[in-house]
A and B are shown apart, each in its own frame.
Chain A
Amino acid sequence: DIQMTQSPSSVSASVGDTVTITCRASQGISRWLGWYQQKPGKAPKLLIYDASTLQSGVPSRFSGSEAGTEFTLTISSLQPEDFATYYCQQGDSYPLSFGGGTKVEIK
């Protein structure tokens, strides 16, 4: 099974900052990686799939990249509504797996 390791587990940032979250796969998953945003008490929301493709309706300040088995989510010019928990998920093979999550908190 593929393990997804996400870091950091939390980050404090201010409005306008750039935040970077990293996810590493235990084996090759090509570019089959998704990123989700979850706010407290709400369902997750798909932001990015295939490592760098923005889901419809997602603001362009969200971007994703890959380098081998390491994937990055970047949030540029952080907005108040971006404070949430972010998860990566490998979409390569079953069983699907998520990273442990990164909580983006207000500094």
Chain B
Amino acid sequence: EVNLVESGGDLIEPGGSLRLSCAASGFTFSAEWMHWVRQAPGKGLEWVSRIDTDGSGTSYADSVQGRFIISRDNAKNTLYLQMNSLRAEDTAVYFCARDRPGPQFYMDVWGKGTTVTVSS
């Protein structure tokens, strides 16, 4: 069964750092692009970042560019999101998602999410 499980969410003070993890199983992780998407409380979905199969290509939303770093360890079937200089507006549920195989960019498998709260 294809599965994604996020972890690492926590309550963190503004300006702090946090690393999220996403453990993948049930598919060939090293062959798929991956994404992070977030959802602030009571708000809509916001795409955050993506990474290609070997980690050589990444993209970020303007709102996190320069503060967040996406990476992956294909030997461990794990996706990461290093979050630095955290702000109150980064408070959200963070989902990892698999890029649907194909030329365009959709997310066909999602984890349940992990909650990040940025507050003093």
Q: Which residues of A contact B (CB under 8 A)?
A: 1, 32, 34, 36, 38, 42-46, 49-50, 55, 87, 89, 91-92, 94-101
Closest Cβ–Cβ distance, residue B2 to chain A (whole Å): 12
CA distance A1 to B65 in the complex (A): 14
Q: Within 8 Å CB of B105, what residues of A?
A: 32, 91-92, 94, 96
0/1 per residue, B52-82, Cβ < 8 Å to A? 0000000111100000000000000000000
CA distance A107 to B86 in the complex (A): 41
A contact face: mostly helix, strand, loop, or mixed: loop
Could you pull out 30 A-B pairs where Cβ atoms are within 8 angstroms? A1-B62, A32-B105, A34-B106, A34-B107, A36-B107, A43-B110, A43-B111, A43-B113, A44-B110, A45-B110, A46-B106, A46-B108, A55-B108, A87-B45, A89-B45, A89-B47, A89-B106, A89-B107, A91-B106, A92-B104, A92-B105, A94-B59, A94-B105, A95-B59, A95-B61, A95-B62, A96-B47, A97-B47, A98-B46, A98-B47
CA distance A100 to B62 in the complex (A): 18
Interface size bucket, B side?
20 to 34
CA distance A91 to B47 in the complex (A): 11
Closest Cβ–Cβ distance, residue B92 to chain A (whole Å): 13
- B104 and A87 contact, CB distance less than 8 A: no
Q: Within 8 Å CB of A49, what residues of B?
A: 100, 102, 104, 106
Number of A-B contacts (CB under 8 A): 63
CA distance A94 to B102 in the complex (A): 15
CA distance A100 to B46 in the complex (A): 9
- A95 and B47 contact, CB distance less than 8 A: yes
Q: Within 8 Å CB of B60, what residues of A?
A: 95
* Shortest Cβ distance from A90 into B: residue: B105
CA distance A33 to B35 in the complex (A): 17
* Shortest Cβ distance from A97 into B: residue: B47
CA distance A91 to B106 in the complex (A): 6
CA distance A38 to B107 in the complex (A): 13
